[in-house]
Structure 1
């Protein structure tokens, strides 16, 4: 796919929805982990999402590529399936045992900074201008301020360095998968979402079995939570992610990673009565300024069309 990114009001609505959805996922995941182990949680939500998407894909005729794809596209598809969901899910599940939650949040925010140089060299129409780079750096600083002291403080764990590397590696996986997804030839978005989840399920289920053994049957509440995680932040959000990357590009998609920690903080305060950090307003301002600078051209075109 070589056409330039097409950023519309629909694109902004989709990334806003993804930011809110994934920001709320942290709260729901905490509930699920009371009744199931981390790797089986990842395998369960991915497996449920894959089964659901296969049913939808089948009803629409199992369409995938518009024309027979070249061999390198099929190889890229397999790589995206691993890098977009399975591998980062497992890296984060393992890494967060030894790092602070703040460091994991900063790692996810760094996806934008990873995608930017990759897209500059590998995706047509995604040039790394000074304004765009400066905007992403400002947004990243805003996320660090929002998370506060937890961003880089030590957890004291013996495997902390390895855990941090796992979290950063997960962020790299997300960045690489976004670039590869954008470079695929013409493809049906529902078919692509389904195939990626199937590949991820084929990776995570056997690894969960090897690492954690056979799981005990979770209670009803945990099963309902896993189903919700599979339906909304995995199946539905994965399809939205595909649509955004394929239409608006991986750089635009990466601004979602600045929203996730912001929504996580706001929802934690609203639903769990967690205290709001005193730096919230300044962090929000920096994130919004960063997003505005990095997407200045898209906003100008959008408001120009609206006017």
Structure 2
């Protein structure tokens, strides 16, 4: 499905930059959650990101879709790729460390491979991919510590919510390939985020009420970071890297994100992860590397 591409020095630098941006977003989200509720934090993320992308699109003079069917596709994509995973993961971060959240987030690639094999004939599960998926799930299992689930508590439920968010991301990738592959990346991202904002607005008003704008400076800085840089800007950078590197190589960004998130969580919030988290991530990383190599060969 994807042709093998060589990573140039520039593409490597952009891939690393993308990983750093997304890695730091987990800390920014957690800082915002100290002041604003989960649903409101997600609304800020999708609303300001959508606004920023439409400004870019208007500046570039790209045509805006007018077909109601396309906007229906945007709504479903927004639900799967933003509303559900952003909300589930933000709620999970209330009880789960920043670094651990980022490790569990890497399970998106594992679920993505499995679902792609179910929906697309050209994404069959080869022995190599099965090995990568198996190691990925083993790594996730070690990271969360399955024995911990003998007694449910907020931390365990938070981890389940985060994993549910990664599953939603994987379904979003399927939906995007089926319905959005012909749309320009900027239009697809802006439309999806606009659909997300439309869906989040009534939920926010019902659950949290009208958002207040009298927030601490650090909260606004956190919102600006995860909405404008880690969402709007990162989408533009992601599609650029995807075009230059191919889907197999861009999967490597999932290996860059957790170390950044773990480091920032430790430095800013004094978080310390249990040894099993690092062991699990190492095994998960090996699985992701195997999957990355298998996709580059397709």
- Measured against the shorter chain, the TM-score band is 0.7 to 0.9
Of 73, 80, 85, 2:82 maps to 85
Specify the alignment match of 1:174 in structure 2. Answer: 169
1:214 aligns with 2:210: yes
Deviation at residue 237 of structure 1 after TM alignment: 1.9
Shift of 1:219: 2.4
What is the distance in 1 between the residues matched to 2:182 and 2:189? Answer: 14
Q: How does 1:34-183 map to 2 (within 5 A)?
A: 34-63=34-63, 71=69, 75-95=72-92, 100-101=96-97, 107-123=104-120, 125-145=122-142, 147=143, 149=145, 152-153=148-149, 156-157=152-153, 166-183=161-178
1:201 matched to 2:203: no
Give RMSD over aligned pairs. Answer: 3.8
Q: Name whichever of 223-232 and 240-249 sits farther off.
A: 240-249
1:181, 1:245 within 8 Å by CA — same for their partners in 2? Answer: no
Question: What's the TM-score once normalised by structure 2's chain length?
Answer: 0.78
Q: How high is the TM-score relative to the length of structure 1?
A: 0.76
Q: When you count helix as a share of all residues, which structure comes out higher?
A: 2
Q: Secondary structure at the match of 1:125?
A: helix
Structure 1: unaligned runs, 5 residues or longer: 302-307
* Residue 225 of structure 2 is aligned to residue 228 of structure 1: yes
1:212 offset after TM fit, Å?
0.6
Offset at 1:211?
0.4
Offset at residue 76 of structure 1 (A): 3.2
Which of 258, 263, 271 aligns to 1:261? It is 258
Instruction: Note the C-alpha offset of 1:258.
Output: 5.3
Distance 1:186 1:14, change over 3 A: farther
1:305 maps to none
Q: 1:134 offset after TM fit, Å? A: 1.0
Aligned residues: 291
Shift in CA distance, 93/125, structure 1 to aligned 2, threshold 3 Å: same
Q: Mark the CA change 1:240 to 1:104 in structure 2 (over 3 Å): closer, same or farther.
A: same
Cα pair distance change 1:268/1:222, threshold 3 Å: closer
Contact 1:95 1:166 in 2 (8 A): yes
CA shift in 2, pair 1:106/1:266, >3 Å = closer
- Pairwise CA distance, 1:279: 5.9
Query: Could you tell me how far apart the structure 2 residues matched to 1:185 and 1:69 are?
Result: 16
Question: 1:152–1:233: structure 2 CA closer, same or farther, 3 Å change rule?
Answer: farther
